Chain A
Amino acid sequence: MPEYTLKIRRYSPETGDAAYWEEFKVDLEGHRSVLEGILSARATTDGSIGIRCSCRAAICGSCAVRINGKADLACHHHLDHAAAESPDGNTITVEPMGNMPIIKDLIVDMDAVHWKKIQRVTPWLLPEGPEPEREYIVPHENMVDVTQTMACIQCGACVSDCLSMEVDPLFIGPAALAKAYRFVGDPRDGQQYERLKDLAEDPHGIYDCTHCFMCIEACPKGVAPMSQIMRLRRVAGSDQKINDRNNGYRHEKAFVKNIEKYGTLHEANLLPDSYGGKFHPRAIPVLAGSLPAIVPALLRGKVTPAKALHHHKLPDQKQIRAIYDTVEGRDSRNELNLYIEGYEDEPVLKAAGEEERGPHS
């Protein structure tokens, strides 16, 4: 049987010692999970290794850890894959999740961070008006729309690797915001506007996400929290016209209009427009605040006054505007969710390198 090395991050609060690494050898088949590796080390070598687990089948969400630096369910990651991903092809690094305090070894305090943030978004229905006499039948399209968020098993992997939360611990975060969409998208809920207003105005809300894809990469259930956050922004901005104090909607609107007007990005106009235009009171302190960045750029000739004032329109600008008119003129937005629709065939890009297809194919 192959032998794998598990390099586990250890920490025991009662000793008062700093966290340290410890290596364990385990003899297991490659298709067994990292969780089984840890449990085997615990059974044969050191009974004090702390790990949380229950179902061992990627259902309960208890066993998320960082394997070779990336969050995943330990019971859902094969030993041979983990070894192949490791720098030396054999030593599998296992650490507790990030962004949460460590209780012991691989066990983190989910209450202090994850569950507190879930509570922050009021994760239950807030119906309005008199109770209906019969059961409320939710239209199929609405249920399908929130299905993806309902696949969440609350494992916290996305929270662990979220890069906004790393610098701003107050950020509501991917799991909780994905949960928020589950209720915003439910027609039985009566507080859609209030929920969105709250999440848009909070400086640590939907506009605090840096669009880093970490949560999409980490999630073992395909919830794609970042995509749910973009949905929340879409409904808050385009539908509810919530003009948040974080400049989130203004920035999006300025960017989209900028391309409609010029076809390619006119950066010099984007910044002031994101704050409501060059002469908007909101823009003045921000533009003044960006002087330390702009002055050296001007001195180096990176930003020239001519460039700031003139921007060439695309020769086919009419085409861009026509596309805008058609698409933005629809009664409702056309969206394709691949989580629900699936791929009709193998995606062509899967192995773009080997299946060389020119732009003509």
Chain B
Amino acid sequence: MKVAYWPGCVSRGFTPELHGSMAQIAPMLDIELVELDRANCCGAGVIAEHNMELADTLNARTFALAQQTDTDLMMNICSTCQGSQSECQERLDANTPYRDSINETLKAETGLEYERGIVNKNFLWVLVEDIGLDELRSRVVRPLTNLKVGPFYGCYVVRPTDRLGIDDEHPRDTYMQQVIEALGGTVIDYAGAYKCCGFPIITMNQKASLTMAGTHLGDAVDAQADCLVTPCPLCHLNLDLQQPVAEKVVGRELKMPVLHLPQLVGLAFGLEPKALGMNKHVVRPTSVIDWTQSVVGSAA
């Protein structure tokens, strides 16, 4: 399949390993990525907080650019992009006079126009709904046997459920668990899977922010997870980059590796941790590297 690909700002900034690992596994899944390299930041909820119309116009521009490509759908690799873009799309699609007024600005300033009804999905949703778990399973060459993985979704990809199209037919809030299992891993059930990483208030209330991150990481440690996996690079910033500070805030050692979703898929597809950029993480994914070596060892 061919997708209009929006990697988001953070995956091209502080988490380049996310963008890199996605680029590596895409061909292994027969996904052709048509990168939207002229698209703009989704606003991460902050631009909408400042001025709703501004956020809606900027995202309408991204949608319009995606609609110019010859692709099946638009795909992102960031929970926060998904949530922010879905919020703007909800308003744009709900009300014709409003959409027309946004399009008027868009046309005047960029020559572009957004047509109602774009399909914009996080890579997680594409994996389950468009590629399918059977197909995914069939491409696994190194099942994640005995690797204990805790899912960490990120708020923006699980709430609000109606806006994100989460219902009985699309239980998108269970996809992480389904994917971990399809890759052969063991799902770790812990308290933090659907909670907030704390990133949005890191500059406003660092203590509260890192208490959130530290608590979820600690819960995962207590549940004996080998690592966490997330579809959100902003969660990754608070859970991995800030982990040394979070350890101080919650007063305990954590050392919990946090993987990006494409990295976990890549691992099961036989790629090495280093090739997937895991050496760029602040918390060394020692447990994951040990696991990789033990699998190689037992095969030899």
| Cβ contact within 8 Å between B90 and A338 | yes
A350 in the interface (beta carbon within 8 A): yes
Task: Tell me the B269-286 residues at the A interface (CB within 8 Å).
Answer: 279-282
In whole Å, how far is B56's beta carbon from the nearest beta carbon of chain A? 8
Q: Assess A84 versus B168: contact at CB under 8 Å? Given A211-B45, A275-B203, A334-B101.
A: yes
Residues from chain A with Cβ under 8 Å of B204 in the complex: 207-208, 246-248, 251
Name the CB-closest residue of B to A214: B159
Residues from chain B with Cβ under 8 Å of A333 in the complex: 51-53
| Cβ contact within 8 Å between A323 and B105 | yes
Residues from chain A with Cβ under 8 Å of B167 in the complex: 351
Complex interface: stretch among A21-29, A32-40, A119-127, A232-240: A232-240
Q: Assess A351 versus B165: contact at CB under 8 Å? Given A251-B203, A292-B245.
A: yes
| Cβ contact within 8 Å between A296 and B49 | no
A357 in the interface (beta carbon within 8 A): yes
Complex interface: stretch among A142-150, A178-186, A257-265: A257-265
Q: Assess A335 versus B52: contact at CB under 8 Å? Given A267-B10, A302-B282.
A: yes
Q: In this complex, which of A266, A338, A347, A351 has the most chain B Cβ atoms within 10 angstroms of its Cβ?
A: A347
B41 in the interface (beta carbon within 8 A): yes
Residues from chain B with Cβ under 8 Å of A267 in the complex: 9-10, 13-14
| Cβ contact within 8 Å between A352 and B53 | no
| Cβ contact within 8 Å between B129 and A348 | no
| Cβ contact within 8 Å between A344 and B205 | no
Residues from chain A with Cβ under 8 Å of B16 in the complex: 302
Q: In this complex, which of A247, A253, A255, A274 has the most chain B Cβ atoms within 10 angstroms of its Cβ?
A: A255
**Cα A209 to Cα B106 with chains together (Å):** 32
| Cβ contact within 8 Å between B94 and A357 | no
B21 in the interface (beta carbon within 8 A): no
Task: Tell me the B47-97 residues at the A interface (CB within 8 Å).
Answer: 47-54, 56-58, 61, 63, 66-67, 69-74, 83, 86, 89-91, 93-96
Residues from chain A with Cβ under 8 Å of B168 in the complex: 84
Q: Assess A292 versus B46: contact at CB under 8 Å? Given A208-B208, A300-B281, A338-B91.
A: no
The number of chain B residues touching the other chain, given as a range, is: 35 or more
In whole Å, how far is A5's beta carbon from the nearest beta carbon of chain B? 20
A289 in the interface (beta carbon within 8 A): yes
B224 in the interface (beta carbon within 8 A): no
Q: In this complex, which of A253, A259, A268, A354 has the most chain B Cβ atoms within 10 angstroms of its Cβ?
A: A259
| Cβ contact within 8 Å between B94 and A167 | no
Residues from chain A with Cβ under 8 Å of B248 in the complex: 292
Q: Assess A296 versus B244: contact at CB under 8 Å? Given A230-B48, A341-B94.
A: yes
Query: Residues on B close to A: CB < 8 A?
Result: 4, 9-10, 12-17, 37-38, 40-41, 43-54, 56-58, 61, 63, 66-67, 69-74, 83, 86, 89-91, 93-96, 98, 101, 105-106, 108-110, 115-119, 121, 125, 129, 155-156, 159-161, 163, 165, 167-170, 195-196, 198, 200-201, 203-209, 211-212, 215, 241-242, 244-245, 248, 279-282
Name 19 A/B residue pairs within 8 A (Cβ), A-sorted: A210-B201, A211-B155, A212-B196, A213-B160, A214-B196, A237-B50, A256-B50, A256-B54, A265-B41, A275-B203, A319-B109, A322-B109, A323-B58, A326-B109, A352-B119, A353-B129, A354-B169, A358-B72, A358-B73
